Amino acid sequence: MPALTEIERGRKEATHTVVQPTDVKPYLNPDPDTSIGLRYAFYLLGDVRGKTVLDLGCGSGENIAPLLARGARVIAVDLSEELVKLARKRIEITKPFVPPPLMVGSAYDIALADESVDAILCASLLHHLDIPRAMGEMRRLLKPGGFIVVKEPVRFSKSAATLRRLFPAQKDVSEDEHPLTKAELEQVKAGWIVTGERVFRLPIIALLMKFLSEKRMLRVWPLDGWLLRKFRWLEPFATGRVLKLEKIG
């Protein structure tokens, strides 16, 4: 089966996405030692009260309400018109929030002025994109001293890559989509100041996510965090990475 374009992938994702209100509580004051990558991303955002935060690649809008609850002035962008419609619906049913500006557009050409945002949340997006081009556009948008919080799948281990081939190929994968390599992660960091970085999700955890409910996974995540803290040699096998990048100049 040929790979999907990004627009086709978004349209297909929208057809099987069940929109529910977002529980913002886990993201209001997350523990810096959390074992869940997205919660650590919200920890790295820090105090965003009154700041303009761009949710780039917002998808169906899971991260918008937590940003609003943290007091940010949110702008959200996604390439998929269908997913943006779902994001608006999700915010409408997540009381008491009112949908912020939601835009359909490319991460390479965002209809915002130069140096117009304080921070960018870029979650699970860069592994779909031309990294230098996307990073250049985010640099254009950020005010001096602004920052990006990036959350991405990675695959550094050759043995993990070999093991992955034993499992069925993922469905709804776009033509350029793949976990970031070590060299690609260095492209993400190039020209930025890294002020926070952690690894998450050992392969066994990624595998369990396919079979366990979200509720049951909450019991498993602490094991992932403990293993990665206790045995640092496991870090190259981690399949997720979260980092904060501050703009230079």
d(CA 23, CA 17): 17
User: Does 37 map to a domain?
Assistant: yes
Please tell me the predicted confidence (pLDDT) of residue 171: 55
Q: What average pLDDT does the structure give for the chain? A: 90
Q: Which domain holds residue 220?
A: 6-247
The separation between CA 184 and the C-alpha centre of its own chain, rounded to angstroms, equals 16
User: Does 1 map to a domain?
Assistant: no
Which region among 66-70, 71-75, 176-180 has the lowest average model confidence (pLDDT)?
A: 176-180
Please tell me the predicted confidence (pLDDT) of residue 6: 78
Number of domains within the chain: 1
- Asked whether 45 and 116 are in contact (CB, 8 A), the reply is no
**Phi, psi for residue 192 in degrees, rounded to 5:** -125, 160
The tokens of 113 are what? 């002025």
Element (H, E) at 90: helix 81-93
Q: What is the pLDDT of residues 156-205, one digit of tens each?
A: 876 555 555 544 555 555 566 789 999 999 999 999 999 999 999 999 88
Q: Where are the beta strands (DSSP E) in 79-126?
A: 102-104, 117-123
Residue 227 has pLDDT above 50, yes or no: yes
User: What CATH number does the domain containing 63 carry?
Assistant: 3.40.50.150
Spatial CB neighbours of 89, under 8 Å, sequence gap ≥ 6: 19
User: Does 110 map to a domain?
Assistant: yes
Write down the pTM of the prediction: 0.90
Please tell me the predicted confidence (pLDDT) of residue 122: 98
User: Does 219 map to a domain?
Assistant: yes
